[in-house]
Amino acid sequence: MRCPHKPAALLAVVLLAACLASACGVSTAQPAGPAVASGPPAPAEPPVPLPNRDGSLKFLAFGDFGTGEPAQYELAKQMAALKSRFDYDLAILLGDNIYGKGPKSFVTMFEQPYKPLIDAGVKFRASLGNHDAREQIKYAPFGMNGEMYYTFKAARQSVRFFALESTYAEPAQLAWLEKELKGSTDEWKIAYFHHPLYSSARGHGSTVALRNALAPLFIRYNVSVVFSGHDHVYERMKPQDGVVYFVAGSAGKLRPNDLNRASTITAKGFDTDLAFVAAEIDGDNMMFQAISRTGAIVDSGIVIRRKAATLPLPLAAVR
Amino acid sequence: MSDFLRTIAFCAVAILWCGTAPDSSFAGLQAPVNADAAAFDAFSKRVAEYTALQKKISAALPALPAKPTPQQLDDHQRALGLGIMQARKGAKKGDVFGPDMPALIRRLLAPVFKGPDGAQVRAAIIEEPHPVVPIVNARYPDEVPLSTMPPDVLRLLPKLEEGMEFRFIDRHLILLDVKSHLIVDVIDNAMPA
């Protein structure tokens, strides 16, 4: 027996599935391809512009960069090249900012490689990694204002960032985080810190002890995106309980072929060259690109922000 | 008064007395908890004495500008560290942790490391091993990355004043002065083998 309403029912099922996906903050990565890109990256080419709209929030995210090695400088050149076409004014740093010791390291591992960005007025907001000396919190260019962990509202769009100190997740920090998340009325809540809650890298992998403390807060208070470093690869996870997790810990150091190809949590990975993330938030969408040292886009897509599960989704959020 | 009434009165008094007397089992639980609390309290006082010394030495140094350069930060940290090292010349293990904390900390932390998630907690802490022996009242070795301190471990340890942290070097728990980058004290093998 044929159902006369079959096409309508199918459409309803598709729409429902899309609604559920949107509610979970599922990213729609493009282009489709192997989960982990391997082999030499594509030849250098100008990055495809994101929507690049006026009034959007444009920012970079990268970690584990402060080596002072030529590779770091080469990736930094890609960041500077992107700046001319994609006018970001914020860079969130995911820790292991300065691997070296001594004051000169700040010059060779930060001020020199990112001079074009600094000169252009890009504001850096750092989090600390396990290799970072604590006095970095007083180093003005890192924008930490003397705090190990802090929150700030972005200059544009309804976005609030939460920079955490993941090497020292003391009860006071967790209580502070819950209070700040609970009190935030911003549409986008983005957390970043050094240790990844989810990672398919063999070098370190998921920091489960930290995940048990943080992930429930991210889920409960509608954090949409989390950026981390520590593992020296690029990886975007499939949404975990609706939250999209990135590892972008290869802006200076690289562990080649470190990603476990059999991992079931990887949405996209890149572990054959350095990379950073460029992102743009416009309304409910966060467009992103992961860009390699040659300027190749190794991952891209859109994250739709999480909303309270009880709220009905606007049609515009359905993709 | 009949024997019956005397018995009733005795029972009533006995019941009342039992109702107001301290519960022996409760009192038995209080003792070790208070001992732990007393050890924590004494430790906190010694930490406060240390930070008072640190502040006194820091106050005698040229103040850092609002936006210090890395060189100024490094100079200030090393000068502070030198001043504290001189003031605490002869400092030895246990001076700040005290006599009771090592056993207490080992006892408190043992279930975490031996529990179902113990291997993960241990791996998170010792993910980049360095063969370094921590020395009291010496600069934290620059080549050793800071250990991660998982929430399950930190929630068992006493709250510290700002600028003081617990960290591990190998299996040894250290009390770290973040401002001077000095190892203030050490508990050997706080993490079980």
- The per-residue pLDDT for range A134-188, each reduced to its tens digit, is 999 999 999 999 999 999 999 999 999 999 999 999 999 999 999 999 999 999 9
User: What pLDDT was estimated at residue B33?
Assistant: 60
Using an 8 Å CB-CB cutoff, list chain B residues near A170. 149, 151, 154, 159
Range of weakest confidence among A47-56, A84-93, A130-139, B96-105: A47-56
Going by pLDDT thresholds of 50, 70 and 90, the confidence category of residue B2 is: low
Could you say which of A140, A166, A171 has the minimum Cβ distance to residue B154?
A171
- What's the rounded Cα separation, in Å, for the pair A317 and A314? 6
Sort out which chain B residues have CB atoms less than 8 A from A134's CB and list them. 178, 181
Assess A102–B contact: CB distance below 8 Å, yes or no: yes
Q: Which of A225, A230, A195 is nearest to A212 (CA)?
A: A195
- The verdict on B139 touching A (C-beta cutoff 8 Å) is no
Chain B residues touching residue A204 (CB < 8 angstroms): 127
Cβ(A307)–Cβ(A185) under 8 Å? no
| Contact by Cβ (8 Å): A165, A172 | no
Nearest to A249 by CA among A297, A203, A301, A303: A203
Position A12 scores a pLDDT of: 44
Where does the pLDDT of residue B124 fall: very low under 50, low under 70, confident under 90, or very high at 90 and above? confident
Amino acid B193: pLDDT: 87
Q: Name the one residue in this structure whose structure tokens are 């059999």.
A: A262
Residue of chain B whose alpha carbon sits nearest to that of A166: B148
ipTM, 2 dp: 0.80
Q: Please judge whether B151 and A106 are an interchain contact, meaning their C-beta atoms are less than 8 angstroms apart.
A: no
Residues in chain A within 8 Å Cβ distance of B155: 171
Any CB–CB contact under 8 A between A30 and chain B? Answer: no
Searching chain B, which residue's CA lies closest to the CA of residue A107? B70
Residue A46, pLDDT score: 59
Q: Which residue in A135, A168, A171 is closest to B165 by CB distance? A: A168
Q: Is B147 on the interface with A (CB under 8 A)?
A: yes
Q: Does B142 touch chain A (CB under 8 A)?
A: yes
For chain B, the residue count is 193
Tally of CB atoms within 10 A around A123: 16
Question: B51 CB near a chain A CB, below 8 Å?
Answer: no
Proportion of chain A above pLDDT 90, given as a percent: 78
Q: Is A97 on the interface with B (CB under 8 A)?
A: no
Mean confidence (pLDDT) of chain A: 87
Of the candidates A49, A77, A37, the one whose C-alpha atom is nearest the C-alpha of residue A299 is: A37
B70–A107 C-beta distance less than 8 A: yes
Which of A96, A101, A131, A135 best tests the B interface by mutation, with the highest count of B CBs <10 A?
Answer: A135
Q: Are strands A123-126 and A36-37 parallel, antiparallel or unpaired?
A: unpaired
| pLDDT score at B50 | 98
What SS3 string covers A168-208? ECCHHHHHHHHHHHHHCCCCEEEEECCCCCCCCECCCCCCH
Task: State the average pLDDT for chain B.
Answer: 86
Residue of A nearest to B144 (CA): A131
Cross-chain Cβ contact B159/A172 below 8 Å = yes
Mutate to test the interface with B, among A99, A142, A149, A167 (most CBs of B within 10 A): A167
Smallest Cβ distance to B121: which of A107, A174, A209? A209
Tokens of A289: 């690109």
Nearest-Cα residue of chain A relative to residue B77: A135
